[in-house]
Structure 1
Amino acid sequence: MDHNSANAAEALAFIEQSRLRLAAASGVPPIRHAAFAAMIGTLVASPMAPGISRFVVLIGIFVALIAIIRWDRRRMGMFINGYRAGKTRWITFAMLGVILPLHMLGFWLMIDHGIRWAPLALALVASAIAYGGSVWWCRVFRRELLGSLA
């Protein structure tokens, strides 16, 4: 084995070790999934907030998002964007494809049909979808990382 082959083998071994460490670090505790689900549920329930307080709720959601990003960075040393390339992007789009219509449906039922509790009921559904989607996203992410190593 010549010098370049040895360097290439070391570099590949380093990359594999990094992927293994990242896969191990990406094991998200249930409370992290619950925080994401609560944030999404709050978004879907937000039409229930009267008038200008709806904007206060939205600001709270953005603050929660920043807290989740900081939490991930402290725990893993980075935040992994849900829109990253790969199979996880399709999970993100699937969640958005269900949760955003739930949000709009809740708003429509409340405003046009006077069903004030509709956003809250749909928020519970959206929270469950967000929790399950978050768990699924993390599993697929780890599988992608470990694909050639497993």
Structure 2
Amino acid sequence: MEPNSEAAAQALAFIEQSRVKLAAASDTPPLRHLAFAALMGVLVASPAVPLPFRFVVLVGIFAAIAWIIRWDRKRMGMFINGYRAGRTRWVTGALLLVILPLHMLGLWLALDRGIGWAPLPLGVVAAAIAYGGSIWWCRVFRREMLDGIA
């Protein structure tokens, strides 16, 4: 084997090892899925809260996002963005296509129709969808990382 071929083979082996480690690190505990689900549920349910306090809820959501990023970095040494390129982006898009209309429906029901409690059950539905979507996202990510590795 030529020196360049050997170096290339070592580099490819290192990349494969890194992908295996990433796949293993993405084995997310149920509590992490629950945290994401809670964020989505609270976001969809937020129109049930009177306007001045809705801003407090949104600030809380942003603080929770920062906490989750920190938690992920501490737990596995990195944070993997949900909008990353690859097959996982399709999962993220599918989640948005379901959760955003629930949020818009909650806004419409609460603000235009005066049914202030309506976003609350929609938030529960969004949380359940987000929990399942988080599990789905992680499975797709793991398959993508392990794709083509012997």
- Give the alignment's TM-score, normalised by structure 2: 0.97
Q: Deviation at 1:114?
A: 2.2
94-103 or 55-64: bigger deviation? 94-103
Q: Percent identity of the aligned residues?
A: 71
The separation in 2 between residues aligned to 1:112 and 1:16, in whole angstroms, is 54
The separation in 2 between residues aligned to 1:89 and 1:73, in whole angstroms, is 21
Alignment map for 1:50-129 (pairs within 5 Å): 50-129=50-129
Give the match for residue 147 of structure 1: 147
The separation in 1 between residues aligned to 2:79 and 2:125, in whole angstroms, is 26
Cα deviation 1:26-66 (Å, max 9, x = unaligned): 10000000000001100011111112110000000000000
Amino acid in the other structure paired with 1:105: L
The separation in 1 between residues aligned to 2:51 and 2:13, in whole angstroms, is 57
Q: What is the total number of aligned residue pairs between the two structures?
A: 150
Cα deviation 1:111-138 (Å, max 9, x = unaligned): 2222222100100110011101100000
Q: Which secondary structure does the structure 1 equivalent of 2:51 belong to?
A: coil
CA contact (8 A) 2:47 2:116 kept: no
Unaligned runs of 5+ in 1: none
Give the match for residue 134 of structure 1: 134
Give the match for residue 4 of structure 1: 4
Amino acid in the other structure paired with 2:12: L
Amino acid in the other structure paired with 1:76: M
Amino acid in the other structure paired with 1:34: L
The separation in 2 between residues aligned to 1:76 and 1:148, in whole angstroms, is 23
Q: Deviation above 4 Å: which 4+ runs of structure 1? A: none
Q: Deviation at 1:2?
A: 1.5
Unaligned runs of 5+ in 2: none
Give the match for residue 28 of structure 1: 28
Q: Deviation at 1:4?
A: 1.1
Taking only aligned residues, the RMSD between alpha carbons, in angstroms, comes to 0.9
Say whether 1:37 aligns with 2:37. yes
Q: Which secondary structure does the structure 2 equivalent of 1:86 belong to?
A: coil
